[in-house]
A and B are shown apart, each in its own frame.
Chain A
Amino acid sequence: MPDLSIQNLFLRLGDNEILKGVSLTIPVGSVVALLGPSGSGKTTLLRAVAGLEVPYRGAIKIGERVLFDSERGIELPAEQRGLGLVFQSYALWPHRTVQDNVAYGLKLRGVGADEIKTRVAAALAQIGLGHLAARYPHQLSGGQQQRVALARALVYEPPVILLDEPLSNLDAKLREEARAWLRQLITSLGLSALCVTHDQVEAMALADRIILLNGGVVEQEGTPTELYTAPRSLFAAEFMGSNSQLNGKLASRGGGQAEIEVEGQRLRGVDRGGAAPGAAATGVIRLEAVQVGGADGGNGLTMTLATQMYLGERWEAVFTRGTTTVRAYAHAPLAEGEHNIGFPPEALWIF
């Protein structure tokens, strides 16, 4: 099976430009997450791939097969694209049993009755719901409905399966289980998948690659590790993980390093480009990188403990100095008063 590729896609809904030139590739057998805040265009992009929204420029291809190409005037209707789509609401047909919901795609492809039976049974067995084939959707729990929706999209073996917020309708506990199950199923079947989510933890857990969308353009693309440990923009840095922000002035830069002046103190960090010395700059650091009690090399600030919260497996503390607020994790409750807060230079990104 060939790759799904999207080239320079533009789409507008009413007067709103939703997609402003999105390009990406989904290699065969990989799970790609489309991540972004609400309004970033991720669901619209997914629907455009499925053929449910019409872009006004760009192209969508699976290998050499053109699904959409504005220049050549090609626009395959949704039913001829042969993709699988799992809806956020699952969209199981309420007037059909589980069996009939799953079988419909095969029936439309003219598969014989006997073969439909075996293939549906196999698909339902795969998702562990073989015994519920005769039920109607409303007789299933949310998690079961989600699995049926997945089986319905998988049963006719589409080259790419599209998932729209597949886990968002499940409650928190079930979501973590379903996440692991889904990842396992997709990888064991060797599927290519494009999965929309607004939850960065979900994206990192599910996907081989993450595409971070912001305002209709791709902000950054890479493996989960790349996105988490080497964000290329302030937006990417802020969107992934839990962070603290240090606002100040850029003091110097050079050799991949930069210095930022915060609350009268100079802090060293990794230069992430942008501002010239003297201009406003922002330092971003992951919460887990902040060192309470000071860092090696003394890259830090003396700050006052404002409050602390017990989170179960650890404590989260909030420190202030002037207008700057920094959050950090601690393993034990901290004493009132001032603390040395260290920012390891390799973990502090200066934008």
Chain B
Amino acid sequence: MRFGWYRFLVIAVAAVAVLAPLVLVFYQSFLDAPFFQPVTHFSLEAYSFILGESDFWDAFVTTLLIGAGMTAIAVPLGAILAFLIVRTDLPGRGWLEPVILVPIFVSAIVLAFGYVVALGPVGIFSIMVKSWIGFVPWNIYSLVSIAVVAGLMHVPHVYLYTAAALRGLGTDLEEAARVIGANPWRVAIHVSLPMVMPAILFAAVLVFFLGFELFGIPLVLGDPQGILVLSTYLYKLTNLLGVPSYQLMAVVVVAIVVVTLPLIYLQRRLLRQSQRYVSMRGKGQRAAPLRLGRWRWPAFVFIALWFLVTVVLPLAGITLRSFVVTWGEGVKLADVLTLDHYRALLNFPNIERGILNTLAIGTIGGAFAVVGYTLVALAIHRWNSGWVRFVDYIVMLPRAMPGIVAGLALLWVFLFFKPISPLRSTLVSLWLAYTIVWFAYGMRLISGTLLQVAPELEEAARTVGASEARVMRDVSVPLIRYGMIASWLLIFLIFVREYSTGIYLLGPGTEVIGSLLVSLWGTGDVDLVSALSVINVAMIGIGLAIAVRLGVRLHA
């Protein structure tokens, strides 16, 4: 009985946390003024204003174009990568996987800064190339380059789902084709590819959907040319009108959610489809890898090149930039080396606080988030009830809100509900926003490990005389503690990386590196931005190294 109460309490808390921001946004979108003003009326004014704006529609179309472009780049690359690593004798296939997943954990805005510093018109590498051939053969500030950069960055997402599907395929199916007389490449095209197609399709929709979440890349690479996507349009709206135009922002949020919700539903359907062909795992024998022959090293170089462009170039650029006074044509590296930018960071108390806050939210906040996700996962664990479906949908909903939107909605929640308003200027507000934004991810991590606990182990405890709550405490939780620690590490990485969720919650006391970077970029202080970026990357690098060292699987 008591456990029943626990279940409903947890579900109620989760539902309120997820639904309150969304409901508030919808409510605000139908008002003619910000909700905190004394006099507000219901009206459709905001809708007619936004839908009549050509800028809004431009941003909408641009978002679709970038989403389509990055999907077209990420899907084939990711699928090829997965095939090379799972099924061929590619050199280094043993250690390549964690490397391939690195872009998932590096902050997109840091990468975007890196591209500007490395490959921008006066970028470090651009100047190098210019000195060789006389001109810079690319333009980083364009729609195409945004789509290309975003596409390259999302290759790991496609890789993950395709590789998982490839590994799940029974090797007997491929061997059957071999025996009948198909050569390895025909097997790949006629047997393997069709069977992982549902997974690839799922990944394609996922990447397109993630196109709506893009913020850092279009902000840094698109804004100088006036290229806006929905998320940056929303961000600009804040400053556009001077007065807080909450009702207009709410309409933009509603517009984003109206597009992303069906996409999420579609993903759910496709995910179920993509598991259709996954056969029994753990047969022991793996198929002998396909021999690439003389294509072995070209294939390796292909992957190395992708990694170079996606991770190494921007990170090398920003690191180098953080150690030099200035950069331009004819500057000698030895003359301009300095540590001043890092020293300068210490002159700003808010930046110092931001670094400490980031660490705190990653470690302590991450731990609390994992506890929260575990509480919810336990509440629905092995529960035969319609409520489980309800929780599934609750978990999914926040995904429809890009981080910047969730941060905005949470800000409003804290302003709207007076009793909790004092928490707004503390890290609690930020923690809540992070925890909600990554709800689906965290739940997948925890319920994934919980599902591995064989049901008999729990049933055995029941028959021996333990109540449901006792079984959780004595059997389920002890058995998933390693999974929880692994999840904590992954959540740490995600929380340290996060930048867009904190933007609207940024204030004295709630600074974190991510949101500070966005606001510093606005002021144009490249010195500070690059030094702070390097610190952010270093924190993630250390966390990632610990995770890999401990053998944590980097994907859920």
Interface residues of A (CB under 8 A from B): 50-52, 77-85, 87-89, 91-95, 104-105, 108-109, 152-153, 156, 162
Q: Mark interface residues in B458-492 (1 if CB within 8 Å of A CB, else 0).
A: 01111111111010001100110000000000000
Residue from B459, B460, B462, B470 with most neighbouring chain A CB atoms (10 Å): B460
Given contacts A85-B460, A108-B470, contact A91 B454 (CB under 8 A): yes
Report whether over half of chain B's contact residues are helix, strand or loop; otherwise say mixed: helix
**B457: chain A residues within 8 A (beta carbon):** 91, 93-94
Which residues of B are at the interface with A, using a C-beta cutoff of 8 A? 454, 456-457, 459-468, 470, 474-475, 478-479
Partner of A79, one of B454, B463, B475, B479: B463
Q: Are A79 and B465 in contact (CB under 8 A)?
A: yes
With A91-B454, A91-B459 known to touch, is A109 a contact of B465 (CB < 8 Å)?
Answer: yes
Contact with B464, one of A77, A89, A94, A108 (Cβ below 8 angstroms): A108
| Known contacts A95-B478, A95-B479, A104-B474; is-contact A85 B466 (Cβ 8 Å) | no
B466 and A108 form a contact (CB under 8 A):
yes
Q: Known interface pairs A93-B475, A95-B478, A95-B479. Does A105 touch B464 (Cβ–Cβ under 8 Å)?
A: yes
Smallest Cβ distance from B473 to chain A, in angstroms? 11
A85 touches B461 (CB 8 A): no
Query: How many Cβ-Cβ contacts under 8 Å join chain A to chain B?
Result: 68
The 7 closest A-B pairs by CB, nearest first: A91-B456, A78-B462, A105-B464, A91-B460, A85-B463, A108-B465, A87-B456
Closest B residue by C-beta to A105: B464
Chain A residues near B475 (CB-CB < 8 A): 93
Q: List 6 A-B contacts (CB under 8 A).
A: A77-B462, A78-B459, A78-B463, A87-B460, A93-B475, A156-B465
Cβ–Cβ contact B456 & A79, under 8 A = no
* Beta-carbon contact of B459 and A87 below 8 Å: yes
Q: In this complex, what residue of A is CB-closest to B475? A: A93
Given A52-B463, A104-B466, 11 more contacts at CB 8 Å? A50-B459, A50-B463, A77-B462, A78-B462, A79-B465, A82-B465, A87-B460, A91-B454, A104-B461, A153-B463, A156-B464
**Whole-angstrom distance between the Cβ of B508 and the nearest chain A Cβ:** 46
Q: What B residues does A104 contact at CB under 8 A?
A: 461, 464, 466, 474
Q: Complex Cα distance A96/B470, Å? A: 15
List B contacts of A92 (CB < 8 A).
460
- Considering the chains assembled together, what is the distance between the CA atoms of A162 and B464 in angstroms? 12
Query: B residues within 8 A CB of A91?
Result: 454, 456-457, 459-460
Contact check: which of B454, B462, B478 meets A52 at CB < 8 Å?
Answer: B462
- Whether B454 contacts A153 by the Cβ 8 Å rule is no
Residues in chain A near residue B466, CB distance under 8 A = 79, 104, 108
C-alpha spacing A79/B459, complex, angstroms: 9
- How long is the Cα–Cα vector from A88 to B456 in the complex, in angstroms? 9
Kindly state the separation between the CA atoms of A51 and B461 in the bound complex, as whole angstroms: 12
**For B474, what are the chain A residues with a Cβ–Cβ distance below 8 Å?**
104
Question: A93, B460: Cβ atoms under 8 Å?
Answer: yes
Q: Which chain A positions have C-beta within 8 A of B467?
A: 77, 79
Question: Distance (Å) between the CB of A124 and the closest chain B CB?
Answer: 16
* Residue of A108, A109, A162 with most partner-chain B CB within 10 A: A108
A80 neighbours in B (Cβ, 8 Å): 465
A92 to B456, CA, bound (A): 9
Query: CB-nearest residue of chain B relative to A52?
Result: B459
Instruction: Known A87-B456, A91-B456; judge A81-B464 contact (CB<8 A).
Output: no
**Bound complex: CA A89 to CA B457 (Å):** 9
Distance of B92 from chain A, by nearest CB (Å): 33
User: In the assembly, what is the distance between CA of A109 and CA of B467, in Å?
Assistant: 12
CA distance A15 to B306 in the complex (A): 52
Nearest chain-B residue to A87 (Cβ)?
Answer: B456
| A89 and B456 contacting across the interface, CB-CB below 8 Å | yes
Closest to A149 in B: B460
Question: Least Cβ distance of A86 to chain B in Å?
Answer: 9
With the chains together, A95 CA to B454 CA distance in Å?
13
> Which residues from chain B contact A93 at a C-beta distance below 8 Å?
457, 460-461, 475, 479
Residue in chain B with minimal CB distance to A82? B465
Distance A288 CA – B521 CA, assembled complex (angstroms): 92
**Bound Cα distance from A83 to B463, whole angstroms:** 6
What distance in Å separates the Cβ of A30 from its nearest Cβ neighbour in chain B?
21
Whole-angstrom CA separation of A152 from B463 in the bound complex: 11
- CA distance in complex: A108, B471 (Å): 11
Give complex CA distance A91, B464 in Å. Answer: 12
**Which of A50, A79, A87, A89 gathers most chain B CB within 10 Å?**
A79
The docked-state distance in angstroms from the alpha carbon of A162 to that of B459 is 13
Complex-state Cα separation, A104 to B460, whole angstroms: 11
B478 — which chain A residues lie within 8 A by C-beta?
95
The distance in angstroms between the C-alpha atoms of A110 and B479, with both chains bound, is 23
Contacts of B464 in A (CB 8 A): 79, 84, 104-105, 108, 152-153, 156
Q: Looking at the assembled complex, report how far the CB atom of A226 sits from the nearest CB atom of chain B, in whole angstroms.
A: 31
Output the least CB separation between B384 and chain A (Å): 9
Which residues on the B side are within 8 Å of A85 (C-beta)?
Answer: 459-460, 463
Q: In the assembly, what is the distance between CA of A111 and CA of B453, in Å?
A: 28
Min CB distance, A73 to chain B, in Å? 14
Nearest A residue (CB) for B471: A79
Contacts of A153 in B (CB 8 A): 463-464
- Name the residue among A91, A94, A153 with the largest chain B CB count within 10 angstroms: A91
CB distance from B460 to the nearest CB of A (A): 4
**With the chains together, A334 CA to B468 CA distance in Å?**
64
Q: How far is the CA of A88 from the CA of B461 in the complex (A)?
A: 15
* Closest-CB distance, A197 to chain B (whole angstroms): 18
Min C-beta distance of B388 to chain A, whole Å = 15
Identify which of B456, B467, B470 gathers the most chain A CB atoms within 10 Å of its CB: B456
Chain A residues with CB under 8 A of B456: 87-89, 91
- Best-surrounded residue of B456, B459, B462, B465 (most CB of chain A within 10 A): B465
- For residue B470, which residues in chain A have a CB less than 8 angstroms away from its CB? 79, 108
Q: Nearest residue in B to A83 (C-beta to C-beta)? A: B463
Q: Which residues of A contact B465 (CB under 8 A)?
A: 79-80, 82, 105, 108-109, 156
